Amino acid sequence: MKVLTKNTDYAIRSLLTLGAARGGYLSARAISREHDIPYQFLRRLLQEMIRHDLVVSKEGASGGFKLAKDPDEIRIRELIEIFQGRVQVSECMFRRQICSNRARCVLRHEIMRIGQVFGREFDSITIGKLMRDLDAANTRSAHGCIPAAAAAGENGAIAGKERDMKNEPQRMTQA
């Protein structure tokens, strides 16, 4: 279960870079190079963010993009909504045929609660906050990367060595 898709991930990184540029225009090319984001792909993301008033652009030579608002006003949630659609727990859960059968609306309560927890989490994280995190991380000594397996939390992957239906490549690239 991937919480952030590349769209969103790239968008976040781009906004962080634009934030660091502090008002100056940065070209899509520059951002693309900085984060190794496919150029044309990034351009589409940027245009989408223009449409949502997250960034503004300047055309022509030495043109580019800059943030359209205070980084603290840009919430991860908005990026997720733009690039991954509204946060919903299960799209089919509230459709009539489901709701009218025996287990109708069973999960409603938990569903709503989780939806809200997620919403709040994503609302609480802004580009401004991440910029400060980044600053802090940069002033402290450069710390290494942690392996992907730790991303899920306390314990690594729950599933054992058996073949899952959903089986991910399990790459553990280490520097």
Which residues are at the interface with DNA (CB under 7 A)? 5-7, 27-30, 38-41, 43-44, 46-47, 50, 57-65, 84-85, 166, 168
Name 66's Cβ contacts closer than 8 Å, sequence gap at least 6. 18, 21, 23, 24, 25, 26, 55, 56, 58
* Between 2 and 60, CB nearer to a second copy: 2
167 binds a second copy (CB under 8 A): yes
The contact mask relative to a second copy for 108-147 (x = CB under 8 A, - = no) is: xxxxx-xxxxxxxx---x---xx--xx--x----xx-xxx
Q: How far is the CB of 45 from a second copy (least distance, A)?
A: 8
Q: Half-sphere exposure of residue 62, counting CA atoms within 13 Å on the CB side?
A: 1
* φ and ψ at residue 11, rounded to 5 degrees: -60, -45
Q: In terms of residues, how long is the chain?
A: 175
Q: Which does 60 bind (CB under 5 to 8 A by kind): DNA, a second copy, none?
A: DNA
Q: Which does 63 bind (CB under 5 to 8 A by kind): a second copy, DNA, none?
A: DNA
Q: Which does 97 bind (CB under 5 to 8 A by kind): DNA, a second copy, none?
A: a second copy
Q: Tell me if 35 sits within 8 A of 12, measured CB to CB.
A: no
Contact with a second copy (CB under 8 A) among 40, 60, 102, 141: 102
Q: How far is CA 140 from the centre of its chain?
A: 25
From the list 72, 107, 101, the residue with the least C-alpha distance to 88 is 107
Q: Which does 58 bind (CB under 5 to 8 A by kind): a second copy, DNA, none?
A: DNA
